[in-house]
Structure 1
């Protein structure tokens, strides 16, 4: 397989069907990398990724900009640009944007989500 360059700004975004005010772009899927998937997301002010778990996947999310309250297990922590959160399979996690600016993030899944 040849190498690939993905221009995320050229990808269409779509609203996540289970969360509030959360849009995504599927940057890398299993078709490009069978080891992981990469998704660029934006949480609108007041929006949230509701606390949830993944069975059989670890989700790693990296905050690019903005500030959110991260639920990780029983803990709640304010995270901002440069924060990296790792939720192993079965661990409850979520993000709530209580600020006035969007939260931009990358979500990586191993193995791939899609």
Structure 2
């Protein structure tokens, strides 16, 4: 391996490290100030600022759907649902833009938006 090859390899490594650093900074900025918008049948019913919310379970039965959401460590997920396939529970935790999770049978959607 010649001197020119080593210089090219070093430049590629430097670009990769800078790119990774930029990605990590962007990821961190997306999670700061994240807000979860909860809607049922297209109508927004809640706006939850994840950084400010305490760990809790949110029962949506008062809105006519048998769905429970969970907020824990500034993340949100579908904890339970009476839908037949439970795909919504498979989305897991979401906490930054542009993530979303949807329970189609119950028409419940969670969308994460930034500041």
| TM-score of the aligned structures, taking structure 2 as reference length | 0.27
Q: Whose helix proportion is higher, 1 or 2?
A: 2
Max radius of gyration: which structure? 2
Q: Whose strand proportion is higher, 1 or 2?
A: 1
